[in-house]
Chains A and B, each alone.
Chain A
Amino acid sequence: MKSFTYERATTPADAAGIVASNPGARFLGGGTNLLDLMKLEIETPTHLVDVQDLKLDRIEPTEAGGLRIGAFVTNTALASDERVRRDYGVLSRAIVAGASGQLRNKATTAGNLLQRTRCPYFYDTNQPCNKRKPGSGCAAIGGYSRQLAVIGSSDACIATYPGDMAVAMRVLDATVETVRADGKTRSIPIGSFHTLPGDTPERDNALDHGELITAVTLPRPVGGTHVYRKVRDRASYAFALVSVAAIVQRDGSGRAAFGGVAHRPWRVEAAEAAMPRGAVEMSNAVFADARPTDDNAFKIPLATRTLAAVLAEVKP
C-alpha cells in the first residue's frame, strides 16, 4: 500500500473542501472496498478524509412521506430498519443478498453506491484496463468476459456495476444528495447517478472530485410486492450474474431493474408497460440493444427467466 496521510473531517462541507483542493485525496467511509483496492495499488490516494464524524448516520422521514438515509448508515442498519423492511422491502432484500455479515456491518450507504467494478482485468494491474489506466486498452474485450456487461457497454469498457443495493434504489426512484466544497447541494436521480462507460470508463458516476454524498432519499412508498432475486455461482457471498429488483402491483403492473448486466443498474421504464404481458415481452424490450460477448450471452435468457420467476412468485 502506498503511503498516505489521514484526517477526520468535522462537517460535510469541510470534508468536500479538503478533498476538492487535493487531487490525491479521497473520502474514507467504511473502507471495505477502498482498502482492498489500496492494498492492490489499484487506488493510490495520498490523503484520506474520514467521514465517520459527520453525523450522517441517521434514517429520517422526509416531508414528502419518504425516507432520508444518511450516507454513513451501514448496510446492516439500513436493511434492518423497520420502515425499510415494511415499506421498501426490495431494498432490505437487495442488501442482505450482497456481501457477508461482516462487510455489511462496516459498509456504508454512500460507499456501496461508489464501490468499483469487480472486472478481473480492472483488478489485475498487469493487464490493460481503460477504467484503471485510461487509454491503456481493455483486456476484457476478447478476454474472459463471463461476468461482464451485456448492454450499455462501449468499445473501451465492458465492466459491470457490481452492487445489489443500487439496483433496488433504481427501482425505488431514489435520489442521491450531495454537497460540494462551496456548500452548494445537488440532488441526482439514481438513474443518472451511475454513468455508462462510453469513452470515459474511468468515470463510474456523475460526481465531481470532492463532491460528497450526504444522503439517499426514497420517495413515498408505492406499495406492491417487493422482490429481489439474485442468481449467482454460489448460494451466498457472491456477486450477481443477473439480479432482478421488482415491485409488482396487484393488477400485474410494476417496475423492474436488472443488476449484473451493465455499467449501472439497468432499468428501461418504457419496457415496464409490457410487464403484465409477461417476462419474455418485457425482457425483449429491456435488452433490445444488448451487445453480449460469446462468454456472457447466457445472461440475456437468464435475465428473462429470472424475471419470469419473479413474476410467477408474486402472482396472487
Chain B
Amino acid sequence: MGSETFQLSRREMLMSSATTAAVSSFASETAEAAPPVKAVPTYKVAMTVNGASQTLTLDPRTTLLDALREHLHLTGTKKGCDHGQCGACTVIVNGERINACLSLAVQHQGDAVTTIEGLGTPERLHPMQAAFVKHDGYQCGYCTPGQICSAVSVLEEIKRGIPSHAQADLMAAPKPTGAEMRERMSGNICRCGAYSNIVDAMADVAGARA
C-alpha cells in the first residue's frame, strides 16, 4: 500500500511515549485494580476509490472521510462541520452522493467511491469543474469539491427522475430549472456565498438556463 505509508512525526512520538509512561506508572501504583489496557480493534476494508482497488486496516471509528483524507491522502474531499450539515465532504458512492463524514469506512466494503480527484484532472477537467471555473462558482474554494460532487450527482438525479421538494407534480419528470437546482443543492453550504454562480455553472452543464 504505497498510499498508506505511515510516518510517525517527532511530536507524535513524544506524545505516545508520554502516554506510555503515564499508563505504566499508574499501573504500578494500582497493580491489582488496573484493568488491562485494551487494544483498539481494527478491521480490514476493501473498496475501489477513483477506479483503484484499496485495502485498509482501520479502527472502526474511522469515517469514510478520514479514510480518504488521512489514510489514502486524497485531501480534495474536505472536512467542514463533520456532522453532515455543510456538505464539504460530499463524495459519490456507488453512483449516489453522500456525506463522507457520516459514514464509517467499514460500512463501505466492496463499494465504489468517487472523489473530486476521480472526476477530472488539472489537464482534463470534468465539464462541471470547467463550468465552475468559467462561472466563478467559488471564492475561497473550501466547499468547492463537495459542491462539484454534489452538482454532478444532482444533474444525474434529475435525469433519473428522483423527485424533489421543488417539484409541482410528483409524477412529471423533473427538469434542471434554477428552482430545482437550488433546492437539491441545499445540503452544500458556501460561506463565501457563490451560490448564484454555482447555479449558473450547473445550468451551463445541463444545457439549461438558471
Contact = CB atoms under 8 A, between A and B. Distances in A.
B98 A102 contact: yes
A85 B61 contact: no
A92 interface: yes
A4 interface: yes
A236 B183 contact: yes
Contacts of B165: 93, 96-97, 236
B98 A35 contact: no
Contact of A85 (B60, B160, B163, B182): B163
Given A100-B187, A101-B150, A236-B183, A31 B162 contact: no
A105 interface: yes
A5 B60 contact: yes
B186 interface: yes
A3 B40 contact: yes
Given A32-B84, A32-B102, A236-B186, A105 B107 contact: no
B171 interface: yes
B202 interface: no
A36 B83 CA distance: 6
B112 to A, nearest CB: 14
Interface in A1-59: 1, 3-6, 28, 30-32, 35-36, 39, 48, 50, 52
A35 B150 contact: no
A76 interface: yes
B161 A80 contact: yes
Contacts of B83: 36, 39
Interface string B153-172: 11001001111110100110
B92 to A, nearest CB: 10
A235 B166 CA distance: 10
Given A76-B96, A106-B103, A100 B186 contact: yes
B6 interface: no
Contacts of A97: 165
B97 A79 contact: no
Contacts of A298: none
Interface in B67-126: 82-84, 87, 90, 96-99, 102-104, 106-107
Interface bracket on A:
35 or more
B89 to A, nearest CB: 9
Contacts of A39: 82-83
A93 to B, nearest CB: 7
Nearest to A103: B84
Interface in A69-102: 76, 79-80, 85-86, 89, 92-93, 96-97, 99-102
A3 B41 contact: yes
A40 to B, nearest CB: 8
Interface in B155-203: 157, 160-165, 167, 170-171, 182-188
Contacts of B154: 101
A6 B103 contact: no
B63 interface: yes
B97 A102 contact: yes
Contacts of A106: 98-99, 102-103
Contacts of A52: 107
A27 to B, nearest CB: 13
A31 B187 contact: no
Nearest to A236: B186
A89 B104 CA distance: 33
A36 B98 contact: no
Contacts of A237: 186-187
Interface in A216-255: 235-237
B99 A31 contact: no
A126 B160 CA distance: 45
B84 A102 contact: yes
Contact of B106 (A6, A32, A103): A6
Contact of A101 (B82, B97, B167): B97
Interface string B21-54: 0000000000000000010110100000000000
Interface of A: 1, 3-6, 28, 30-32, 35-36, 39, 48, 50, 52, 76, 79-80, 85-86, 89, 92-93, 96-97, 99-103, 105-106, 235-237
Interface of B: 38, 40-41, 43, 59-61, 63, 82-84, 87, 90, 96-99, 102-104, 106-107, 150, 153-154, 157, 160-165, 167, 170-171, 182-188
Considering the complex of A and B, which 6 residue pairs feature the smallest CB-CB distances, nearest first? A100-B187, A236-B186, A237-B186, A6-B60, A105-B96, A85-B170
26 contacts: A3-B59, A3-B61, A6-B41, A28-B107, A31-B107, A32-B84, A36-B84, A50-B107, A52-B107, A79-B163, A80-B162, A89-B170, A92-B163, A93-B170, A96-B163, A96-B164, A97-B165, A100-B187, A101-B153, A101-B154, A101-B185, A102-B90, A102-B99, A106-B98, A236-B165, A236-B186
